[in-house]
Amino acid sequence: MTIIDSILQLWRIRTASKHLAGNLRLIDIGAHKGELFEYLGDRLIQGYGIEPTLDKPLTQNSYSIVPGSVPEIKPLEKNWDAITMLAVIEHIKKSYHNEIADYCYEHLKPGGIVVITVPIPSADKILNLLKWCRLIDGMSLEEHMQFLPEETFDIFKPPSFELVAREQFQLGYNQLFVFKKISR
């Protein structure tokens, strides 16, 4: 990861963390090396991360990260406060989107939230240029599925979820969505 990759990642983390309260039990899908958990610090009671690029489990005081992918990898506990997917959903094939929504619904407590960041497709042109210039590593940029941010509404929809926040950041090249679990 280059310094620019780290800056972009931290920007996503800061934007998302504004929507994450204290005393938090959090599942982070695409947890990388636990940067979100570390950033949250004392706000995090328990973290469970899932990371497909991880070779072996990583355990710290308040969190653990396991290798693998959703929906195969599941924590034993239910009733989590939040699930995050920061720059992740655009890497997931559309055929898995319903399973992702079901996974989130199954693991969240009533009123729990899903926090998602997703770049707009034109961001890939800039990221590819930065990667070509060796200014970024791109963090699996080649896996982007040309996902449109508006498609999140087709995944996290009523009667299971309702949108509670949406904002643009990173000069409009990235979008944040917060969906709340509603009882069916």
Mean pLDDT (the chain, rounded): 92
Tell me the β-bridge partners of 179.
Answer: 114, 163
Task: Give the pLDDT of residue 124.
Answer: 81
Mean pLDDT in residue range 40-47: 97
d(CA 156, CA 153): 5
Within 10 angstroms of residue 137's Cβ, the number of other Cβ atoms is 13
15: Cβ contacts below 8 Å, ≥ 6 apart? 117, 167, 169, 174, 176
d(CA 184, CA 159): 6
Mean pLDDT in residue range 169-181: 96
Mean pLDDT in residue range 145-155: 89
Task: Give the pLDDT of residue 136.
Answer: 82
Give residue-wise pLDDT tens across range 97-118.
Answer: 999 999 999 999 999 999 999 9
Full residue range of the structural domain in which residue 161 is found: 3-181
Task: Give the pLDDT of residue 145.
Answer: 66
Helix, strand, coil share (%) of the chain residues, nearest 5 = 35, 30, 35
CATH of the domain at 63: 3.40.50.150
| Cβ atoms 155, 29 nearer than 8 A | no
Mean pLDDT in residue range 30-35: 96
The domain total for the chain is 1
d(CA 91, CA 143): 5
